[in-house]
Structure 1
Amino acid sequence: MAGVWRWRRNPLRRRTDLVEAWLALVALLLMVFAAPAAGVLCGSLTDTSLRRTAAEQHRHRHPTEAVVVRRAGQRAPAAEPDGSPGRAIHTMVVANWTAQDGSSHSGTLAAPLMSPPPGSRFPIWTDDQGRPVPRPMAPAAADTHAVFSGICAAAASAGLVEALRRLTVWRLIRRRYERLDRAWARYGPDWGRTGAGS
């Protein structure tokens, strides 16, 4: 606002000065109002989508217990299968489990135990067909992802507005210098010469 007001009636004002001041004001308003609105919109859309996904997962994933038959020769993954933070100790085992529909299954699983003896039990999640799956997404995790995506969208919007403002100002300055160079080429060599009209 100060830039626009300062250049309003200044006799030294160039047209590019006024454009630059208005551009700064518009960019500021977009960063203050449009960027947060984009963040809220993105966050709410992400939250809706993730809550729908979490509800779907809770409908089709069921907790059960697996019973260790023996240790497997494979190496265990370093992180939780659902991508949760932190490192958990896992040992690959051959195990049996019963699905939600009562069918028996067997396979190699990562047991959250250091050295599980045969007969040890540990919780797992299975889908409707009895296949092992990661545990369903918690509502708190969906909220966290939604907030993070909203913040990222707002920051990206503000960054895009500022990048466009800087690019436009850079182009204005280049045009200003080009006009100055043309004026210098036209009048500069005659400055100070007698009878050159300068």
Structure 2
Amino acid sequence: MARAIPPAQPPPEELPRVLLWRWRRNPLRRRSDLAQAWIALCLFLAVLVITPAVTFLVGDVAFRDLKQTARHEAHTRHYTSAVLVHDAPRHPEPGSDEAKKTLYPAPVRYTDPRGHTRTADTDVEPGLPADATVHVWVTDEGHLTEPPLTPEQVRSRAMGYALLAAMTVPLIGAAAYGYAGRRLERRNLADWDTDWARTAPRWTTFT
């Protein structure tokens, strides 16, 4: 005889989550739960207060430092002409949009600020013939270098440092909360072991 199929059972209801349960008085709340709630609140308020201050401070310090760096580079870097030693490599697709954005390293000859003739590699447009003139930036020591920082680069980099600081503070707060939570959990387990060591003998029966 075939077994009757039992009627379908409704899915078990999920227990409602009590908001801010660590702040509510109940017999199961431990002291560590309340301590964890206070730690979370203090860290949250600290992050709200510290983040704007740290963001402004880091951005301001970075802006001042980068501005000083740009000023130093403007005084120690020189814009001069250089001549290609030989033909620059040609792009596989001359005239394409990619060719207009592509640069190839090629040796150039130039005169440094001390009057010495030097040869070094720099990035040039593809297809330039030998003896073509290009412009390069040179340091006081005669080495090829990048152009000095522009005001736009100074601002964007300072904003990048400020944004990084703004993201770092909440991460530090979250890490501190996680560390405190693990320490409290270890303490709870140690207290549980201690209580069980006192209670277990009462439950033990000998036969």
TM over 0.5: yes
Change (3 A) 1:178 1:131: closer
Which whole-Å CA distance do the structure 2 matches of 1:181 and 1:65 have between them? 79
Shift of 1:112: 0.8
Question: Runs of 5+ in structure 1 lacking a partner?
Answer: 76-86, 194-198
Report if aligned partners of 1:67, 1:97 keep a CA contact under 8 Å in 2: no
Percent of residue pairs bearing the same amino acid type: 28
Q: How many residues align?
A: 176
- Scaled by the length of structure 1, the TM-score of the pair is 0.74
For 1:44, the equivalent position in structure 2 comes to: 60
Q: Deviations over 1:84-128 (max 9, x none)?
A: xxx7422322423464x7x36331232412233233111111223
User: Aligned with 2:86: secondary structure?
Assistant: strand
Which whole-Å CA distance do the structure 1 matches of 2:135 and 2:20 have between them? 65
Q: Which has the larger radius of gyration?
A: 2
Q: Within 5 A, what are the aligned runs for 1:52-131? A: 52-70=68-86, 88-97=102-111, 99=113, 103=115, 105-131=117-143
Question: Runs of 5+ in structure 2 lacking a partner?
Answer: 1-18, 90-100
Q: Deviations over 1:58-104 (max 9, x none)?
A: 122121211224359xx9xxxxxxxxxxx7422322423464x7x36
What RMSD over aligned residues (CA atoms) do the two structures have, in Å?
A: 2.9
Which whole-Å CA distance do the structure 2 matches of 1:21 and 1:111 have between them? 59
Task: Spell out structure 1 runs of 4+ moving beyond 6 A.
Answer: none
Report if aligned partners of 1:37, 1:154 keep a CA contact under 8 Å in 2: no
- Scaled by the length of structure 2, the TM-score of the pair is 0.71
Q: Which amino acid aligns with 2:55?
A: G
For 1:170, the equivalent position in structure 2 comes to: 182
Report if aligned partners of 1:54, 1:136 keep a CA contact under 8 Å in 2: yes
